[in-house]
Amino acid sequence: MSAQLAIRPLFFWRDIRRVERTFDFDFRDPDSTGRPTAAVVTAHRFMQGSFNLVVADNVPEGSPPSSHVISKPLADNAVRRILLRRVLLPDSSRRWRVVAISGVKITSRAATSRLDSLRIQSGAVDTTLVNALAFFRLRGLLKLDAGAQVTLTAYTPRLDDVVLLYLRDHRVAFHNNGDGTYTVTFAAPDLPDLHHLGVNVLAHGTLFDDTAAYDSQAWIEPYLVHPILIADGTAPLEELGPLLELLARQRRRLLRRLGRGRAAHGSEHARHEQVGERDLGAHRARVTRHLEVGGHHRQPRACRPRVRARSP
């Protein structure tokens, strides 16, 4: 395998140096007075920085190992959609309320990597997601039993992608089945709560070719571990507020885990996000169980969000 690789990666990290947020408002469904009763908000998070690979040097047999860093420009765009409706309150006033949200889709600039669909199986649950930006309501959120075994199958258009699963506190590589499908099994958390999982598709050359550009796409999807109760269809919309806020907070934590790796290359005690040649085979990719991130990294500069609005 080594003879076929342009480089031998030991580990990698992402360094995000700039973040810009924008919001697009698309107002819809005007009432008899011409005022919109619905709005679709598309939230963008543009991230710029570098994707950094530590690769092994070729050294004579018996010599101490050495390595060097290859940095590739990184430009990711994270997108989420939010559906709001203007509802009539008991005091006859009207307020905007969040009624549905989507998952998150993170795509690198000029990406060829693509996650076509994601199948989720656990006990009686068998569902396939085909659009990360499709709306869902909390009452229709994917529900898993605490501690249940969950099998994910990712479908991509290539046979040699590297596909990684990001959970709250660790990362696992999907097994490459050699037919454009990739599978992994994990245990749902024991804690009844709202959770997220992230699936990241990396082009093979991103890790194994020093001349290939950084090429990535990721989905972040929410799920619910029982026995948290979601209000039934007769519940007031405002009851969903705290759950939506929790969903957003947890999504941000996972987004940081996907997009902001830390590194302290050369430090004896540094811990890194690791993907190595020994972990990534053509059809049996695997990585260390824990997401190892440590050391120093640059904080992205704060940037004032921009807002764009479109009226019907």
Q: What share of the chain is helix, strand, coil (3-state, %, to 5)?
A: 10, 45, 40
Taking alpha carbons only, the member of 218, 81, 244, 228 closest to residue 143 is 228
- 276: tokens are 């190595």
> What are the structure tokens assigned to 141, written together?
């959120």
What are 35's two structure tokens?
């005022």
pTM for the full predicted model: 0.75
The pLDDT, as a whole number, for residue 290 is 25
Q: What is the spatial distance between Cα 273 and Cα 211, in angstroms, rounded to a whole number?
A: 21
Per-residue confidence (pLDDT) for residue 251, from 0 to 100: 53
Rounded Cα gap, residues 1 and 58, in angstroms:
15
Asked if 208 contacts 7 with a C-beta cutoff of 8 angstroms, the reply is: yes
pLDDT in tens, the chain (312 residues): 444 457 888 888 899 999 999 999 999 999 898 999 999 999 999 999 999 999 988 887 887 888 899 999 999 999 999 999 998 888 888 888 888 899 999 999 999 999 999 999 999 999 999 999 999 887 788 899 999 999 999 999 999 999 999 998 788 999 999 999 999 999 999 888 888 999 999 999 999 999 999 999 999 999 999 765 555 443 433 444 545 555 555 455 545 555 444 333 333 333 333 333 333 332 222 222 222 222 233 434 444 455 565 555
CB 220 within 8 A of CB 168: no
The whole-angstrom separation of Cα 217 and Cα 171 is 16
- The DSSP letter of residue 33 is T
Give start and end residues of each alpha helix (H) in the chain: 204-208, 241-259
Q: Residue 205 has what DSSP assignment? A: H
Predicted confidence at residue 5, as pLDDT, reads 53
Are the C-beta atoms of 168 and 189 separated by less than 8 Å? yes
Taking residue 34's Cβ as centre, other Cβ atoms within 10 Å add up to: 8
Closest CA to 35 of 95, 91, 79: 95
SS (H, E, C) 230-292: CCCCCCCHHHHHHHHHHHHHHHHHHHHHHHCCCECCCCCCCCCCCCCHHHCCCCCCCCCCECC
CB neighbours of residue 84 within 10 Å:
21
Q: Where are the domains of the chain?
A: 2-310
Residue 32 has a CB neighbour count (10 Å cut-off) of 5
- pLDDT at site 310: 58
